[in-house]
């Protein structure tokens, strides 16, 4: 029996401006179980979702989906995501910036879509990407040691070709590295201690902003004035990748579903060629050529990019942005 989405439209139309339903109530409304593909890949809010499209027909936006608490929230007023602009087809500059989607993204069996095999692939192959990064696996058992060592390992990725530290001594450089990684370790400990049901995109974004700006402040307060949001997000997100590489943590921990991925030049180009997502903005302005992550000091640009990539990653059936990046960075 096909889901009765028309019944969902009728229910929304006759109800108040804000309506929250449990998954069980939704299944009663549509008279069938929620299609498993939406739950498996967590795509109820994506552009292709029948729930979202039928909510729009009723004049509502599907604003929040809690997969742990199993609820959906609809708000009257239409879909808040603006439609993509196609521009005038007669203007060549519109066609010149078009980003294509690769056949790999459309392959239902591409690595990154099934969680357990993707985590195993990541741990087995990360060391082969230039021989520079080596997964933690069973190297550390104490989570607090993992958090600190993850930051220390991520440091070189965040600082390479990005920071001019001539104004400080080597001793100060070492102290800043230690201080920033100790701070990051406490922030990671706080994050991973949160109940899984409290995690969502919003709560993770709040944690990420506070953590990123905290790392940045450590360097700026020491007089390293060219340390940017881009450098800080790279430290935080590569450290998260190291945590995910440890066998001490389960791949299905929701932190790895909601967390951000490290933004650098290589992954931006890969994302554009495979997922069709344009580059990191610079101060809110789109860039269609090179887009510098290390010189970008605008948190809103990174949050926007993470959101655009998350939408594409989930739309094509991948588990999460971090798992996609971990299996496609090379």
| Cβ neighbourhood burial of 70 (10 Å; 0-12, 13-18, 19+) | middle
Pairing type for strands 71-76 and 18-22 reads: antiparallel
Q: Note the pLDDT tens digit of each residue in 83-104.
A: 333 344 333 333 334 567 899 9
In the DSSP assignment, the letter for residue 66 is E
Q: SS3 sequence, 157-186?
A: HHHCCCCCCCCCCHHHHHHHHHHHHHHHHH
pLDDT number for residue 92: 35
Percent of the chain with pLDDT over 70: 89
Q: Which of 239, 217, 206, 186 is nearest to 297 (CA)?
A: 217
Rounded to whole angstroms, the Cα distance separating 19 from 206 reads 25
- Whether 37 has a pLDDT exceeding 90, the answer reads no
pLDDT number for residue 327: 97
Q: Note the pLDDT tens digit of each residue in 106-142.
A: 999 999 999 999 999 999 998 755 567 789 999 999 9
Pick the more confident residue, 80 or 169: 169
pLDDT number for residue 258: 97
Three-state SS at 282: strand
Alpha-carbon dihedral 253, 181, 303, 106, rounded to 10 degrees: -50
């Amino acid at each position: 029996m096909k889901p009765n989405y028309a019944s969902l439209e009728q229910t929304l139309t006759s109800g108040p401006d804000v309506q929250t339903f449990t998954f069980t109530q939704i299944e009663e409304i549509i008279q069938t179980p929620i299609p498993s593909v939406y739950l498996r890949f967590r795509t109820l809010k994506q552009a292709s979702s029948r729930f979202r499209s039928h909510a729009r027909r009723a004049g509502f936006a599907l604003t929040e989906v809690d997969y742990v608490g199993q609820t959906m929230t609809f708000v009257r007023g239409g879909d808040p995501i603006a439609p993509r602009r196609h521009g005038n087809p007669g203007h060549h500059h519109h066609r010149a910036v078009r980003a294509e989607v690769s056949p790999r993204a459309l392959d239902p069996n591409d690595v990154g879509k099934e969680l357990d095999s993707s985590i195993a692939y990541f741990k087995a192959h990360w060391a082969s990407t230039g021989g520079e990064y080596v997964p933690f696996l069973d190297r550390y058992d104490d989570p607090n040691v993992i958090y600190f060592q993850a930051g220390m390992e991520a440091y070189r990725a965040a600082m390479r070709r990005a920071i001019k530290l001539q104004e400080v001594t080597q001793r100060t450089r070492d102290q800043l590295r230690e201080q920033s990684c100790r701070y990051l370790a406490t922030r990671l400990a706080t994050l991973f201690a949160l109940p899984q049901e409290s995690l969502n995109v919003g709560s993770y974004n709040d944690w990420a902003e506070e953590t990123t700006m905290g790392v940045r402040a450590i360097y700026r307060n020491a007089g390293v004035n060219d340390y940017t949001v881009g450098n800080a997000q790279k430290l935080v997100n590569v450290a998260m990748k190291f945590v995910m590489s440890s066998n001490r943590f389960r791949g299905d921990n929701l932190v790895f579903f909601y967390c951000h991925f490290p933004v650098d030049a290589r992954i931006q180009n890969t994302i554009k060629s495979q997922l069709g997502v344009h580059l990191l903005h610079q101060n809110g302005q789109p860039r269609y050529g090179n887009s510098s992550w290390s010189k970008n000091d605008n948190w809103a640009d990174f949050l926007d990019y993470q959101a655009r990539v998350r939408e594409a990653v989930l739309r094509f059936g991948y588990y999460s942005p971090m798992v996609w990046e971990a299996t496609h960075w090379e």
